[in-house]
């Protein structure tokens, strides 16, 4: 039966806060600015993907690396999208599990006598300010200069201001190509392997746990590989200011081929057109769906809500938004591990699809939270009927899979246009209703209460 809800204080969850994450503005291809001054790069995409699958809200603030390090350690920002971990750094910040290992290498100008670290005696060495090599380099007989960026370091090396640069190997190659530094080359062996992590300010253990889980999920689902291929395996940006994705680069190549269709023939044109259409559909599916469960994501929800709202206006129907949060899922993760947790989430996704009509929409909102959008409802009772059906489907999850751990769901319901006309407002009100359900025994459902502010 639906619960008669009473007003209560809402607990603050890690998903409810907007977290400020720092990103270096000149550290391509990992963290940098595009030609519209928006933060992009491999580290930025990984952090965003991990946050998205967990329902975390983050904004990216860019600055010089030295400033970001200081702001993180002084807790003026909540985290940095990518940072090499070390024991010294871990005293001041927390690190997620690593998602990438990189090596450093010496770079010199052609004809230099420097071929290894042993040749650096009395040399003028440049590193990035407050980067890992700046933290750990302590040779007293070497003059070390800290440049504000890797680009500045390599440009100074090219101009003769420095004798050698000790920087991440792949980034060095990237910047040589982007800045056309034909006289700069890497020498010697790969040095100082370092692990890239998301760095967080001290004191946020739940946020750290959420990011770790998000990284695990995007690696298991293949999303991490897609990001890696985009920046390193397929077509990375051809200039620092040019952020053409692999998909757009492929499309441009196809359009260029149209100019020679007279030679290629109509059959080849039709084949390429069909391939382009298939690629567009593939990219659209990736953009609108959760990689783990195959359900839609918030972008698809927004698209479907606008369609449902328009239909409701025409036909005087209601639209219901059901926000579903699993009860007991943290226990499943803690006892049985994240792999089993992922299997449970996929099973829940399947049960939710079975509980609603084909014309309704089911999305994963991040973590163990789902949203069901019910369109063309004649009355409020119809929403309650579906919520009850969802509980019945979830309460019959297989016992062997859960190993005896009870798993239920709390469902908050908000209605368009009764509780609001915009998607974000309805989500907030459904979220409030869901918390009332949790506070009053869990494994139940209820509408957004009329006496809540």
**Distances from the Cα of 347 to the Cαs of 92, 125, 207, 297, 340, in angstroms?**
40, 56, 25, 17, 11
Q: Which candidate in 26, 78, 163, 368 is catalytic?
A: 368
Output the CA angle 450-452-453, nearest 5 degrees.
120
What is the dihedral angle through the alpha carbons of 268, 272, 277, 278, rounded to the nearest 10 degrees?
100
Residue 130 region, left (φ>0) first, then alpha (ψ -120 to 50), else beta? left
The SS3 assignment for 46 reads helix
Which residues does 311 contact at the CB level (< 8 Å), separation at least 6?
317, 375, 376
Q: Which residues of 2-24 are buried (b: 16+ CB within 10 A; e: fewer)?
A: bbebeeeeeeeebbeeebebbbb
- Cβ burial of 36 (10 Å; 0-12, 13-18, 19+) is exposed
Residue 325 is a catalytic residue: no
Which residues does 32 contact at the CB level (< 8 Å), separation at least 6?
24, 25, 26, 39, 40, 41, 240
- Cβ burial of 339 (10 Å; 0-12, 13-18, 19+) is exposed
If one counts every other C-beta atom within 10 angstroms of the C-beta of residue 334, the result is 11
Which residues does 109 contact at the CB level (< 8 Å), separation at least 6?
157, 158, 160, 183, 184, 185
What are the structure tokens assigned to 328, written together?
Answer: 């007991």
Closest CA to 79 of 132, 31, 139: 31
Q: Tokens 């992922």 correspond to what residue?
A: 342
Distance in angstroms (rounded) separating the CA atoms of residues 34 and 221: 28
Distance in angstroms (rounded) separating the CA atoms of residues 257 and 38: 31
Active site amino acids: 368
């Amino acid at each position: 039966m639906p619960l008669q809800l009473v007003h209560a204080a809402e607990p603050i969850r890690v998903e409810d806060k907007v977290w400020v994450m720092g990103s270096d503005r000149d550290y391509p291809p990992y963290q940098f600015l595009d030609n519209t001054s928006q933060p992009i790069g491999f580290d930025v995409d990984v952090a965003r993907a991990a946050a998205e699958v967990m329902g975390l809200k983050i904004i990216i603030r860019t600055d010089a690396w030295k400033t970001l390090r200081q702001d993180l350690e002084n807790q003026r920002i909540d985290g940095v999208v990518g940072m090499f971990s070390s024991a010294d750094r871990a005293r001041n910040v927390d690190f997620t599990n690593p998602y990438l290992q990189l090596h450093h290498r010496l770079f010199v100008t052609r004809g230099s006598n420097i071929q290894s670290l042993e040749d650096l005696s009395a040399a003028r060495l440049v590193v990035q300010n407050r980067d890992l090599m700046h933290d750990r380099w302590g040779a007293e007989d070497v003059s070390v200069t800290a440049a504000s960026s890797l680009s500045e370091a390599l440009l100074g090396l090219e101009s003769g201001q420095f004798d050698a640069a000790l920087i991440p190997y792949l980034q060095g190659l990237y910047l040589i190509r982007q800045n056309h530094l034909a006289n700069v080359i890497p020498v010697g062996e790969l040095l100082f392997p370092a692990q890239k992590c998301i760095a967080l300010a001290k004191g946020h253990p739940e946020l750290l746990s959420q990011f770790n889980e998000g990284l695990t999920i995007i690696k298991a689902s293949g999303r991490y590989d897609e990001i890696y291929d985009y920046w390193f395996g397929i077509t990375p940006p051809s200039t620092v200011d040019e952020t053409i994705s692999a998909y757009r680069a492929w499309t441009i190549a196809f359009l260029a081929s149209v100019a020679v269709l007279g030679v290629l023939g109509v059959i080849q044109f039709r084949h390429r057109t069909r391939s382009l259409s298939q690629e567009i559909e593939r990219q659209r599916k990736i953009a609108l769906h959760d990689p783990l469960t195959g359900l839609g994501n918030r972008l698809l929800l927004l698209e479907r809500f606008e369609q449902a709202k328009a239909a409701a206006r025409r036909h005087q129907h209601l639209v219901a938004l059901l926000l579903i949060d699993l009860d007991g899922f943290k226990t499943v993760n803690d006892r049985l591990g994240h792999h089993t947790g992922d299997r449970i989430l996929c099973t829940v996704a399947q049960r939710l699809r079975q509980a609603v009509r084909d014309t309704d929409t089911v999305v994963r909102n991040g973590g163990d939270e789902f949203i069901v959008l019910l369109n063309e409802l004649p009355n409020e009772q119809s929403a309650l009927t579906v919520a009850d059906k969802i509980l019945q489907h979830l309460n019959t999850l297989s016992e062997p899979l859960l190993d005896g751990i009870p798993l239920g769901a709390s469902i908050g319901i908000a209605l368009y246009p009764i509780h609001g006309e915009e998607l974000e407002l309805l989500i907030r009100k459904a979220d409030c209703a869901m918390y009332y359900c949790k506070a009053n025994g869990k494994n139940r459902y209820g509408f957004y209460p009329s006496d809540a502010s």
